[in-house]
Structure 1
């Protein structure tokens, strides 16, 4: 059994951010392609309610993913917590094989964290990121120190 783990992104006052929507719909497409048997949506309450996991679950259901296949991790506020708080769900499902869904710049660090928890990981990014260049540049710049921190076990 394989689980698709979709990492959270912001919920805006008027609904899911484009990043959250893009990641979630990519996870749904992977599910419909048979790449996973279950989906774990990760993300707690940010600046605007409801939780990221709740918004993702609603998007998945609207995209014909069966509710029984969706598992919510709705307490985390960062990548390390996304993965750590999803571990009990994975154990309950009997799963060690995970496809992590996030943006391309985020996936190397997420993969490293997941492997440290003993998971067998593949990654998948939505085919296109944001059309705006600056958010992508900021993401790549932020991830460099994040990867170093994980390697040095600071986070």
Structure 2
């Protein structure tokens, strides 16, 4: 069965960012739909505590995912670290990355370089702020190029 890697997003002073909440809700849907049997919440401590992974765990449990189906990778601060630090926690190479659609190509590139068979699944953009989405898309273009040019 596949494992989902939920890639981190910001924790704000008043709680999870809309992006973090959307990704986590999508991962819970995958679990409840039987598409994945295990979830790895990825993301370390950002500007506001707790870690992104800890916030995701709490959201997943509220969405009815059993705590035993969740593993925390709570040290990473980048996409590359999200995936690299989750590798020892995987019991399969078949992985579903849960991230936004514009981030999926770069995340899949990184995961494939680590030998994973990967697909990405994006949450719906409900609640997404258009300006924030545009900024994120514009950030992904050069980031993808940089990651693509890196030699492992």
Normalised by the length of structure 1, the TM-score is: 0.94
* Equivalent residue, structure 1, for 2:37: 37
Whether the aligned pair in 2 keeps the contact of 1:99 and 1:122 (CA below 8 Å) is yes
Are 1:107 and 2:104 matched, yes or no?
A: yes
Q: Shift of residue 15 of structure 1? A: 0.8
Whether the aligned pair in 1 keeps the contact of 2:18 and 2:128 (CA below 8 Å) is no
Q: Distance in 2 between matches of 1:129 and 1:106?
A: 17
* Equivalent residue, structure 2, for 1:56: 56
* Equivalent residue, structure 1, for 2:69: 69
Residues 42-74 of structure 1, C-alpha deviations (whole Å, 9 max, x = no match):
000000000000000000001110100000000
Q: After the TM superposition, which parts of structure 1 deviate over 4 Å for at least 4 consecutive aligned residues?
A: none
SS in 1 for 2:102: helix
Normalised by the length of structure 2, the TM-score is: 0.96
Q: Shift of residue 130 of structure 1? A: 4.4
Q: Shift of residue 137 of structure 1? A: 1.1
Closer, same or farther in 2 for the Cα pair 1:131/1:55, shift >3 Å?
closer
Q: Shift of residue 154 of structure 1? A: 6.8
Whether the aligned pair in 2 keeps the contact of 1:129 and 1:136 (CA below 8 Å) is no
SS in 2 for 1:111: helix
- Residue in structure 2 matching 1:97, options 90, 94, 97: 94
Are 1:23 and 2:20 matched, yes or no?
A: no
Q: Distance in 1 between matches of 2:4 and 2:126?
A: 19
Residues 11-35 of structure 1, C-alpha deviations (whole Å, 9 max, x = no match):
0111111110111011001110111
Q: Distance in 2 between matches of 1:65 and 1:138?
A: 32
* Equivalent residue, structure 1, for 2:138: 141
CA RMSD of aligned residues (A): 1.2
Q: Which runs of 5+ in 1 are unaligned?
A: none
* Equivalent residue, structure 2, for 1:81: 81
Q: Shift of residue 151 of structure 1? A: 1.2
Instruction: Give the count of matched residue pairs.
Output: 152
Q: Distance in 2 between matches of 1:129 and 1:27?
A: 15
